[in-house]
Chain A
Amino acid sequence: DVKVTQSSRYLVKRTGEKVFLECVQDMDHENMFWYRQDPGLGLRLIYFSYDVKMKEKGDIPEGYSVSREKKERFSLILESASTNQTSMYLCASNREYYQPQHFGDGTRLSIL
């Protein structure tokens, strides 16, 4: 089975801090994704990557950046955390864009 592992289940940070969310997948998938999930808004795509060192903006990239130095690892960076970035963050991966995505269990991030 595909395993997508997010480094933290819960995280509390302060406004202005630089925050790193890490995600690792073990199935050699080309594509990796970062979403945020908010009640009533569903999953919104922040960034995705289709290859090492390649990245593309999703629907809500402002205030975020990403890094993919190795195929199995995709990091989401909040450059200067703000309270409106308090949310559930989900990482996912797949091999082809049209295939179902495999999700991690999420990181619930609170910015105080």
Chain B
Amino acid sequence: TQLLEQSPQFLSIQEGENLTVYCNSSSVFSSLQWYRQEPGEGPVLLVTVVTGGEVKKLKRLTFQFGDARKDSSLHITAAQTGDTGLYLCAGVEEYGNKLVFGAGTILRVKS
């Protein structure tokens, strides 16, 4: 099974600050998904990136897939308290049928 290293594990910032979460692997993924999970709920899909170098924007969230499809990043501009949660990246194995999850980034945005 391929591994996805996600960093940082924890992030505590003030409202209005910017942040970036990273997801890295030595292996290639055919696509990469980003989820957000709030306490007491299951993960919910934010976005899927498929093409190397692809950039997708979701309001203040910008997702990028690395050119070699081995890494991805999530950038949040002007964080809000509502962005608080656990962010998970998950890659679809290029030669398999499994979804590989990173360990997650716990984001806390303080007012």
Q: Do A and B bind each other?
A: yes
A interface, CB within 8 angstroms of B:
4, 9, 35, 40-45, 58-59, 90, 92, 97-98, 100-106
Kindly state the separation between the CA atoms of A35 and B33 in the bound complex, as whole angstroms: 17
A105, B40: Cβ atoms closer than 8 Å: yes
Chain B residues with Cβ below 8 Å from A106 are: 40-42
Residue pair A103, B42 in contact (C-beta under 8 Å): yes
Please report the C-alpha to C-alpha distance between residue A33 and residue B98 in the assembled complex, in whole angstroms. 10
Contact residues of A: prevailing secondary structure: loop
B103 within 8 A of A: yes
Q: Which among B6, B88, B92, B101 is the interface contact of A97 at CB below 8 angstroms?
A: B92
The verdict on B9 contacting chain A, using a C-beta distance below 8 Å, is yes
Q: Do A40 and B9 touch across chains, with their CB atoms under 8 A apart?
A: yes
| 6 pairs, A vs B, C-beta closer than 8 Å | A4-B42, A41-B103, A43-B43, A45-B98, A98-B97, A105-B40
A36 to chain B, nearest CB (A): 11
State whether A103 and B1 are in contact (beta carbons under 8 Å apart), knowing that A41-B103, A43-B88 are contacts in the complex. no
A-B interface pairs (CB < 8 A), number: 48
The smallest C-beta distance from A35 to any residue of chain B, in angstroms, reads 8
Assembly CA distance A22 to B102 (angstroms): 25
- Whether the pair B48, A104 counts as a contact (CB closer than 8 A) is no
Give bound CA distance, A105 to B33, whole Å.
19
CB-defined contacts of B103 to chain A, threshold 8 Å:
40-42
In order of increasing CB-CB distance, the 7 nearest A-B pairs are A103-B42, A42-B103, A97-B97, A100-B45, A43-B101, A42-B101, A98-B92
CB atoms of A59 and B1 under 8 A apart: yes
Shortest CB–CB separation between residue B96 and chain A, in angstroms?
9
Cβ-based interface call for B99 (8 A) = yes
Q: With contacts A4-B42, A105-B40 known, is A100 near B33, CB below 8 A?
A: yes
Using Cβ atoms and an 8 Å threshold, which residues of chain B touch A98? 30-31, 92, 97
